[in-house]
Amino acid sequence: MSDAVLKLSGLTREFKQGGETLQVLKGIDLEIGKGEIVALVGQSGAGKSTLLHQIGLLDRPSTGTIEIEGKDATKMNDHQRTMLRRSALGFVYQFHYLQPDFSAEENIIIPQMIAGRARKDAATRADKLLGALGLSARASHRPARLSGGEQQRVAIARALANKPHLILADEPTGNLDPETADHVFSMLVRIVRQTGISALIATHNLDLADKMDRVVELRDGLLS
């Protein structure tokens, strides 16, 4: 695939448990192109979260390479990996993990300021994202005053705040009722499409998976 945002080659991850070795990932090869939305499916315990942690540079693989926009992250030191993660990746989890003492807008401003953006510019970006996700009227509300679906939409806006090239989502609608999940997922896909970024979305919902560009399944440590 040309113009790949993500390329995995021979990726493995082993864990030591007592005197035994547990091999979760056994040689993953995957490419995701610019603007492509890929569903990652597989049974619970198959290693989807482990794979996303590898791609998200939150853990190091046992062997293999992870290239993000042509840069081999496996050859980088921790600081370089942090900088690449901050500039190129956005994360959405099953649980929103919003900061409870800050408003929806502030939750989106904070990661931008950490990345070096001025507060005024960060606020403008936050307001634009909240508007795109139908949350302008909720900008000043803290997470406790938002519904589950609204909280997850704020989490999506936060993931997009620093204009990443690849969104990694781990069961982003798994904690929502079916109707809300479908609504939030539709908004996620729409805004990803509009911005032209790529996404890898782990989900158990095969109906949602079928709405993406491509579906890959993780089984026995390999992708198919």
Measured CA distances, 221 to 50, 58, 111, 142, 216 (Å): 10, 19, 33, 40, 12
Average pLDDT of the residues of the chain:
90
Q: Examine residue 5 and state whether it is found in any structural domain, yes or no.
A: no
Q: Examine residue 196 and state whether it is found in any structural domain, yes or no.
A: yes
Domain carrying residue 120: 36-62+77-223
For residue 17, the model assigns a pLDDT of 80
Lowest mean pLDDT among 56-65, 73-82, 87-96, 164-173: 87-96
Asked if pLDDT for residue 52 goes beyond 90, the answer is yes
216: domain CATH number is 3.40.50.300
Q: Examine residue 67 and state whether it is found in any structural domain, yes or no.
A: no
User: Model pTM?
Assistant: 0.90
Q: Examine residue 8 and state whether it is found in any structural domain, yes or no.
A: no
Asked if pLDDT for residue 39 goes beyond 90, the answer is yes
Q: Examine residue 27 and state whether it is found in any structural domain, yes or no.
A: no
Asked if pLDDT for residue 1 goes beyond 60, the answer is no
Q: Examine residue 26 and state whether it is found in any structural domain, yes or no.
A: no
Burial string for 4-20 (b: 16+ CB within 10 Å, else e) reads bbbbbbebbbeeeeeee
Q: Examine residue 117 and state whether it is found in any structural domain, yes or no.
A: yes
Residues 6+ apart with CB under 8 A from 128: none
Asked if pLDDT for residue 222 goes beyond 90, the answer is yes
For residue 197, the model assigns a pLDDT of 92
Residue 174, Cα to own-chain centre: how many angstroms? 14
Domain count across the chain: 1
Q: pLDDT-derived band of residue 95, with 50, 70 and 90 as boundaries?
A: confident
Looking at per-residue confidence, does 141 or 185 come out higher?
A: 141
Q: Examine residue 1 and state whether it is found in any structural domain, yes or no.
A: no
